[in-house]
Chain A
Amino acid sequence: MDVIEASNLVKRFGELEAVKGVSFSVKEGEIFGFLGPNGAGKTTTINILCTLLKPTDGQAKVNGYDVVKERSQVRQSIGLVFQEPALDDYLTAEQNLRFHGYAYGIPKNVLEPRLKELLEMMELWDRRKGKINTYSGGMKRRLEIARGLLHHPRVLFLDEPTLGLDPQTRRRIWDYIHDLRKRENLAIFMTTHYMDEAENCDRIAIIDYGRTVALDTLEKLKDGVGGDVISVKTEDNEEAMRLLEGQYKLKPDIENGIISFTVPHGEEFLPKFVSGFPLRLLSIGLRRPTLEDVFLKLTGRNIREQEVDSMQKMKNMARMRRH
């Protein structure tokens, strides 16, 4: 069964069209990733799905409920972790969770054991009486995940769940998410602009300028690049290039004395290539394409190139003015 069905979602803010007809569906129990650069329309889409924004056009159903017409049913059946923390800093962890429990009408005899279970799972039980303003960024995020799960939602939305966290904490958060999925059998819809993080997803939708440019499993997306990336260094690179283009019918690139090209089924190609190649090889390497390669192939741009943050823009402007 599909827990989320979105068809042709459009959202306009005045002149700006933030989401331009996005369609996808999320199955029960899967981790679905929404990957794209900042400003691609990821958060807008999440806000539509969790009823915070009304779509300008198109339809979406979450757990079978319409996000426009059946808002309170949608709200009751989803859990959410926002990009920015949404906790009450003056209350303790426990009090924040209880507030949530009361707000979702969880009966007391269900709430207390559930609260304990989740705080233990997120390793926050010992700090449950600590006020949030004494919590670190990673602890806050874990607490928010616990809170999002308190009322047994069937879908958990995570908007950039690891934004602003250090690499170690990010890895921990991912361990929790995987653990969670095993225990709770819930679907997770997450947005991210970290390529390496999207690798944790079962299926990924790549979104760019408000449109989905691809939607598939990680493996299939990578296969779309055209197989594996092989890089070789030979005694005579010029001759090697000629041979690869002519005899092997490949499209090799050369950069810094290393030739690279893409072949389907690299593991099978490699032994044949090594034994059959006439020139002496100095080094050879094989790697699976990354999502970075996928994004580059689909949009013609590197995802990182777009992440010139506002700070950098300001610096650039200041530099331009000086000249």
Chain B
Amino acid sequence: MAIVFRTIWVIAYRELLRFVQDRPRMFSSFSMPIIFLIIFGAGFGRLIGQMMPGVDYIQFMYPGILAMTVLMTSVMSGVSIVWDREFGFLKEVLVSPLSRSGVLVGKAVGAATIAIIQGAIMLVLAPIVNVPINLGTVLALLPLLLILSLALSGLGLLIGSRMRSQQGFQIVMQLVIFPMMFLSGIFFPVSGVATWLEVLSKLNPVTYGIDAIRQVFLGTEVAGVTVFGHTMGIVDSAIVVAMAGVVFLTTAIWAFNKQE
């Protein structure tokens, strides 16, 4: 058991070390969410006006943008296991006495830590877009961001453990990250849209993550997801995300152990 914990820490430590050393990556993961926030905010903001009493479009979108930062960082860090395989570093890990399962959990923990750091930096934007923020909000956000990023890095790892080359990165971006992003309620509420769109969005675990984050910022009145007539609260949504995460991560560990 001790070896599993040592593995998690060693692997997570390396992820963080890499993150700190790789400045371009640090900035690039902010660029897309911020561009969306600025352009969509400016473009649709006036058109849409108030989403609900007291909440304008940019305020509505901001919690989703925060989640989007976490989404991209987590999935990409998970998929980065392909990079390790291609550049040979994975071999160094595989011949060491480290535990295979611990390697994946360590990757997820590393990815989640990075995602939370990125998320925390995004919080600086909250006052600029008039989203109320205080210590209570931050403390409530932390566990949510943690669960969401662990779950999504599990998804990234699951994809990465099946992928053989980095050419897959582009495909992952287009077939996984973009659909998950647009079908998650970042840009529009998931209820009241076409049924097929609503069904797809409700199957997407990110939707619940975003809904919970939005409720933390803007109060429970903005809750937008109802499943079988039940309106999901913060805790309900967090449980859905956590369950999806457990499924992703255990499947990833299983696939990785089988292959390597």
Give residues in A with beta carbon < 8 Å to B. Answer: 50-52, 72, 75-76, 78, 80, 82, 84-91, 95, 99-100, 102-105, 131, 147
Report yes or no: A103 in contact with B17, Cβ–Cβ below 8 A.
Answer: no
Report yes or no: A103 in contact with B89, Cβ–Cβ below 8 A.
Answer: no
With known contacts A90-B18, A91-B18, A103–B91 Cβ distance under 8 A: no
With known contacts A86-B88, A87-B88, A88-B89, A75–B95 Cβ distance under 8 A: yes
Residues of A within 8 A of B141 (CB): none
Q: What are 22 pairs between A and B in contact, CB < 8 Å? A: A50-B95, A52-B91, A72-B97, A75-B96, A80-B95, A82-B88, A82-B91, A85-B87, A86-B90, A86-B92, A88-B89, A91-B14, A99-B14, A102-B6, A102-B9, A103-B6, A103-B10, A103-B96, A103-B97, A103-B98, A105-B6, A105-B97
Q: Indicate which residue in B10, B87, B88 contacts A102 across the interface (CB closer than 8 Å).
A: B10
Q: Quick check: is B22 within 8 A (CB to CB) of the other chain?
A: yes
Report yes or no: A86 in contact with B91, Cβ–Cβ below 8 A.
Answer: yes
Complex Cα gap A58–B231 (Å): 61
Q: Quick check: is B259 within 8 A (CB to CB) of the other chain?
A: no
Q: Indicate which residue in A51, A89, A102, A105 contacts B95 across the interface (CB closer than 8 Å).
A: A51
Residues of B within 8 A of A99 (CB): 10, 13-14
Residues of B within 8 A of A88 (CB): 14, 18, 87, 89
Complex Cα gap A301–B134 (Å): 79
In the A-B complex, list the 3 residue pairs whose CB atoms are closest, starting with the nearest: A86-B88, A86-B92, A103-B96
Q: Indicate which residue in B14, B92, B97 contacts A76 across the interface (CB closer than 8 Å).
A: B97
With both beta carbons as reference points, the residue of chain A lying nearest to B96 in the complex is identified as: A103
Q: Quick check: is B131 within 8 A (CB to CB) of the other chain?
A: no
Q: Quick check: is B93 within 8 A (CB to CB) of the other chain?
A: yes
Q: Closest CB of chain B to A72's CB: distance in Å?
A: 5
Among B42-73, those with CB < 8 Å from A are none
Q: Indicate which residue in B88, B91, B92 contacts A100 across the interface (CB closer than 8 Å).
A: B92
Complex Cα gap A78–B92 (Å): 12
Q: Quick check: is B94 within 8 A (CB to CB) of the other chain?
A: yes
Report yes or no: A89 in contact with B97, Cβ–Cβ below 8 A.
Answer: no
Known interface pairs A99-B10, A103-B93; 17 further A-B residue pairs with C-beta atoms within 8 A, sorted by A's residue number: A72-B3, A72-B97, A75-B96, A80-B95, A85-B88, A86-B92, A87-B92, A88-B14, A88-B18, A89-B87, A91-B14, A91-B17, A91-B21, A100-B96, A102-B13, A105-B97, A131-B21
Complex Cα gap A82–B87 (Å): 12
Residues of B within 8 A of A52 (CB): 91, 94-95
